[in-house]
Amino acid sequence: MIGGEYLSMGERVVVAPAWGRIETDLWEGDAVAVGTVIGRVREGDRVVPLLSPVAGIFLGWLARSGEWVPPGRAVARLRAS
C-alpha cells in the first residue's frame, strides 16, 4: 500500500469465556460466519457457547473435547476471510 502500512490479521484465536470442559462442534476446514457457535464450555449445568469472532475458516482446536480449560485460554484457531 502506498503512503501507509498494511497489517494483515489473518489468523485469530477463540478463548474460553469460563471454566469448564470443552465440547467441540467443528472440523478443520469448516466455514464459519461471525457469531457461529463453534463449540461450548460446560461446567455442570452451566453451558457457555464458543462464538466465532470473524467470518472465515476453522483451522483447528487447541484443546481436546472433554479437556478442562480456564477462562482466557486459547482453545481454537480461525483464519479470517
CATH number reported for the structural domain that contains residue 19 in this entry: 2.40.50.100
Is residue 5, in this structure, part of any structural domain at all?
no
pLDDT of residue 4: 53
What is the tens place of the pLDDT at every residue in 4-21?
555 456 899 999 999 999
The answer to whether position 6 is within a domain reads no
pTM, full prediction? 0.83
Q: Identify how many contiguous H helices and E strands the chain contains and give both numbers.
A: 0, 8
Domain that holds residue 28: 11-80
Task: For residue range 27-68, list pLDDT tens digits in order.
Answer: 999 999 999 999 999 999 999 999 999 999 999 999 999 999
Q: Residue 63 falls within a domain, yes or no?
A: yes
